[in-house]
Amino acid sequence: MSSPIDYQQLRHYEIFKELSDHALIELAKICQSLDLHAGETLFDQNDSSETLYLLETGQIHVIRQYPDGEEVILATEGPYYVIGDLSMLVGQPRVGAVVAVSDCTLFAIHHEPFYQICDRVPDIATKVIIYLAQRLRYLNLKVREYAISNVAARIASILWLLSEGEAGVIKSRIRVSRLARAIATDADTIERILRQWDKKGYITYDDQHLQIHDIEKIRDIAG
């Protein structure tokens, strides 16, 4: 590793782009350059997290490992990606491994000098907090979107079972409250999804009775 770096390089990173030149100059003083060759591991899942990394060149995989031995690539990222910022700032273990897909150059910032600079230049902490809050808000919205789509799949699965895979009127009376309990969601969400499907012509729904018109679409949604 070597230091320092050109402070202007830090402005490429979303987490630091709003900082003043003075703040970036201070940060550049504690950045250390790191080369990572293709196939090398930057850190493993559950490693301690005392450093955040800024990916300057190259490409990495973020990999989640599960107890049964399965590995899932959560993301593939390129230049100007910030690695491990949340883990470093909250002092929690790494939630996944990071492996170089190609030869990479990174900048490393260790937590102790970072906190010391935040004490001297409070603007850094303020801007970083704003960045993290915006990122967490975005992730929260994505989680909600996924949750809604997952609910749709569960509703469609129940309709598929009740219809026995055939278009037509479902003989069982549809009670939204029972559906909500069955798939662990709220009745308003189910009601909204059923109304949407009614408007699109997949079904006809009148609060108690339901007729399926497009059984193939319901099967597709069910997955």
Please tell me whether residues 40 and 103 are part of one structural domain: yes
What would the pLDDT profile of 27-81 be if each residue is shown by its tens digit? 999 999 999 999 999 999 999 999 999 999 999 999 998 887 878 888 899 999 9
Please tell me whether residues 19 and 100 are part of one structural domain: yes
Classify residue 142: in a domain, yes or no.
no
pLDDT of residue 137: 82
* Contact partners, residue 22, CB within 8 Å, separation at least 6: 121
Classify residue 117: in a domain, yes or no.
yes
- What is residue 222's three-state secondary structure? helix
Spatial CA neighbour of 218 closest among 202, 206, 205, 207 = 202
pLDDT of residue 114: 95
Question: Rounded to an integer, what distance in angstroms lies between the CA atom of residue 65 and that of residue 44?
Answer: 9
Q: Give the mean pLDDT of 169-197.
A: 84
Residue type, 140: N
In what order do the strands lie in the sheet containing 71-77?
Answer: 41-43, 97-100, 60-65, 71-77
Classify residue 66: in a domain, yes or no.
yes
Residue 195 belongs to domain spanning = 148-222
Please tell me whether residues 25 and 123 are part of one structural domain: yes
Classify residue 1: in a domain, yes or no.
no
What would the pLDDT profile of 66-123 be if each residue is shown by its tens digit? 887 878 888 899 999 999 988 888 888 998 999 999 999 999 999 999 999 999 999 9
pLDDT of residue 209: 85
Classify residue 91: in a domain, yes or no.
yes
Classify residue 140: in a domain, yes or no.
no
> What's 29's domain CATH number?
2.60.120.10
Of 67, 99, 133, which residue sits at a domain end?
133
pLDDT of residue 142: 67
Please tell me whether residues 126 and 155 are part of one structural domain: no
Classify residue 28: in a domain, yes or no.
yes
Spatial CA neighbour of 80 closest among 149, 143, 16, 22 = 16
pLDDT of residue 189: 86
pLDDT of residue 3: 47
Please tell me whether residues 12 and 119 are part of one structural domain: yes
Please tell me whether residues 17 and 118 are part of one structural domain: yes
Please tell me whether residues 175 and 113 are part of one structural domain: no
Classify residue 2: in a domain, yes or no.
no
Q: Give the mean pLDDT of 156-174.
A: 85
Mean pLDDT for the chain?
88
> What's 216's domain CATH number?
1.10.10.10
